[in-house]
Structure 1
């Protein structure tokens, strides 16, 4: 009887235990760490399940791929896609429950694109774009500042043409649906092609009398090569960037420059007028100081018909002293004793000796030289070429070299060491103490 009672008691106890088995309840949640949904992505698991003793996690596409921890922490996803997180939870009572969640991993954005200019950056500029951005599910929006087309949507844009000179920004915006990134490149279009030049005659040819040697300065923009033509010039044609040309005949000469680049060309023309050769250099308003003005470095008394410059004492050096061919001597500010002297005699008349000095013959007093010369002021003023003086017999005489006083206007004749003949007209004698000077016009043969 006692055994029967024990058996019944065991059955009752067992029945009560089965009725109170622990249920597995709740759920788990997922969240994006830092709200970042593009790869690489960290998914945080928050397990709120109760009643379970063991956990079997499966992370499709994740790392780690599985876990038996109640709270597996953060799962790493490095590839875009839609993945399932699954949990099978069990307990000692034999209870089992399955939970699952879906996570969407978006492609990360790593923009890689390049551009290449076809031929050159001279307008119009055609640009090839190469998009090497990797990823699925990305959208691409392109903006081409000042280009044709102006915009494009898609991964592979067409070639773009830029015409206007300057900088043009290419912008691509890439989106994965969660975030967007931008990248820019700059295309620079060179200025429009312009054909242009200026010119300057050689110093000795600045009167544009034939023959004239002219230096041409190319001022073209966005050009790579050139074609010149010179009507009546030597050379007649040239492909140099900055040629030098000689025009030997008087008249109007058309100069043409055609400038090229690999896209286009442009022509620019000018007409240069060459005058008839007078073989006469005309120099006006030349100031020559008295001795004190020269030696005190106020107004020079020495002049070069080659450089066309007046030199004070402190301006004379080994390079220019041999070019001086006119020297004026004025003993005082009252102009009581004046004369033009040969440069190689300067040290005999109150000046320092000139190195490699020239020898110039001066006739200061035509009426005293007994040389048959009577070149008047009217003849000087009317002289437009060297015909009036080229036949003059200008030779040294002591009488002709004599000084003269305060008298003007006055004509002085001279002949340089290399045989060029000339005349000086003193227009004024300005009394200004130690800075007194004469004002002259000079006409001299060029050769």
Structure 2
């Protein structure tokens, strides 16, 4: 009886234990941290499993690759692909549950491409594009501003040609299906080739009388090579960028500039007209002040037929003082006592001495000099070359250097230290107090 009772109690207890066995239930979720699905990707695991005592996680392609925690937290993926996350949860009752989920890891976007210009950036510009962007499952869209072609879809684009001068953008847009990035580079096309030049004669040749030496100023655009042709010039041809050429024969001379780069060439032409040599320099409307005007730095009384400039007292220095060959002395503002004096005598007539001063002979009064000179205003006005003046015997005499008063028009003859002969025509004498002056034209030999 006692044994039967014990058996009955055991059966009842065993029966009760089996009825209270704990099942493993629930699930887990995966979340992309910061919603970022391209590498590097962090997946957050959130386990909702109940009834389990042990957990065996396997993270294919992840770091860590395994875990035995109920909530393993975050898993890092650094390569693109589709990976399985497995969980086996179990308890002491022998209950277990296996769950598998997949996560899709997309390739990260790190755009990398280069552009290489073939030959040069002169139009047309051909560009080689090399796409070094790494990754699988990416799509590529290229846009070429004003290019040929204008756009392209694919990883490896064709060469692109840009013809319009200026800056052009090359834009590569890369997508992995969720994220999109773009990178832009600029290609600069140089201006179109233009052949163009200007020119100016040397200062002493600005009347274009033979012989003429001319400086040519290259104003071409996008040129790398130059070929000049000077018809009747010396040299006849030149490859310099800014050459100098001399022309001795009278007439019209054609100048041609052919420029080129590695893409194309262009020609520009102009003409040079060389006049006959008159050996006469004509200078007009020269204002020369009286002594006070000069010394007060209002109107200069000294002039150089070489530089063709009037100099006031404060403008004279060691470099230009030796070039002055005409000095006017106006003693008073009423212009009643006037004379042209040799520069080397300036200090005797109320001026500071000139360093390395020239000696110029002046005939202020032809009628008093008794030297056989009678050069008239009519002759001066008609003089277009030095024929009339080169035979004149201009020599120093005390009578010839005599002063003159307020009388004009008047002709003064002179001879420079280097032997050039000339004539001054006083056209006007203007009373203006200490700034009184004379207005004159000068005609002088070049050599």
Whole-Å separation in 2 of the counterparts to 1:150 and 1:270: 41
Whole-Å separation in 1 of the counterparts to 2:216 and 2:180: 56
> Which residue is equivalent to 1:80?
80
> Which residue is equivalent to 1:43?
43
1:132-211 equivalent positions in 2, closer than 5 A: 132-211=132-211
Whole-Å separation in 2 of the counterparts to 1:65 and 1:293: 103
Whole-Å separation in 2 of the counterparts to 1:404 and 1:36: 103
Q: Which runs of 5+ in 2 are unaligned?
A: none
Deviation at 1:382, TM superposition (A): 0.5
> Which residue is equivalent to 1:104?
104
Deviation at 1:335, TM superposition (A): 1.9
> Which residue is equivalent to 1:119?
119
Whole-Å separation in 2 of the counterparts to 1:161 and 1:31: 47
> Which residue is equivalent to 2:242?
242
> Which residue is equivalent to 1:346?
346
Q: Deviations over 1:12-38 (max 9, x none)?
A: 221221132111111111111111111
Structure 1 SS opposite 2:424: strand
Q: Does 1:22 align with 2:26?
A: no
Whole-Å separation in 2 of the counterparts to 1:71 and 1:352: 106
Whole-Å separation in 2 of the counterparts to 1:387 and 1:137: 94
> Which residue is equivalent to 1:412?
412
> Which residue is equivalent to 1:53?
53
Q: Deviations over 1:408-433 (max 9, x none)?
A: 11111111011100000011111111
Structure 2 SS opposite 1:229: strand
Q: Deviations over 1:315-356 (max 9, x none)?
A: 111111111111111111222221111111111112121111
Deviation at 1:263, TM superposition (A): 0.7
Q: Deviations over 1:377-415 (max 9, x none)?
A: 001001000001011111111111111111111111111
Report the TM-score when normalising by structure 1: 0.98
> Which residue is equivalent to 1:378?
378
Whole-Å separation in 2 of the counterparts to 1:18 and 1:189: 86
1:258-297 equivalent positions in 2, closer than 5 A: 258-297=258-297
Whole-Å separation in 2 of the counterparts to 1:22 and 1:334: 135
Whole-Å separation in 2 of the counterparts to 1:193 and 1:224: 10
Whole-Å separation in 1 of the counterparts to 2:52 and 2:353: 121
Q: Deviations over 1:128-163 (max 9, x none)?
A: 111111100011111111111111111111111111
Whole-Å separation in 1 of the counterparts to 2:373 and 2:10: 166
Structure 2 SS opposite 1:367: helix
Deviation at 1:86, TM superposition (A): 0.9
Q: Does 1:222 align with 2:222?
A: yes
Structure 2 SS opposite 1:245: strand
Deviation at 1:9, TM superposition (A): 1.9
Whole-Å separation in 2 of the counterparts to 1:92 and 1:433: 129
Q: Deviations over 1:49-87 (max 9, x none)?
A: 111111111111111111111111111111111111111
Structure 2 SS opposite 1:5: helix
Deviation at 1:290, TM superposition (A): 1.1
- Aligned residue pair count: 447
> Which residue is equivalent to 1:302?
302
1:378-397 equivalent positions in 2, closer than 5 A: 378-397=378-397
Deviation at 1:231, TM superposition (A): 0.6
- Range that drifts further, 259-268 or 7-16: 7-16
Report the TM-score when normalising by structure 2: 0.98
Whole-Å separation in 2 of the counterparts to 1:440 and 1:379: 15
Whole-Å separation in 1 of the counterparts to 2:356 and 2:77: 94
- Range that drifts further, 83-92 or 9-18: 9-18
Deviation at 1:8, TM superposition (A): 2.5
Whole-Å separation in 1 of the counterparts to 2:308 and 2:37: 84
> Which residue is equivalent to 2:431?
431
Q: Deviations over 1:80-122 (max 9, x none)?
A: 1111111111111111211111111111111111111111111
Whole-Å separation in 2 of the counterparts to 1:73 and 1:386: 109
> Which residue is equivalent to 1:333?
333
Whole-Å separation in 2 of the counterparts to 1:229 and 1:273: 16
Q: Which runs of 5+ in 1 are unaligned?
A: none
> Which residue is equivalent to 2:254?
254
**RMSD of aligned Cα (Å):** 0.9
Structure 2 SS opposite 1:412: strand
Whole-Å separation in 1 of the counterparts to 2:57 and 2:19: 29
Whole-Å separation in 1 of the counterparts to 2:405 and 2:71: 123
Runs of at least 4 residues off by over 6 Å: none
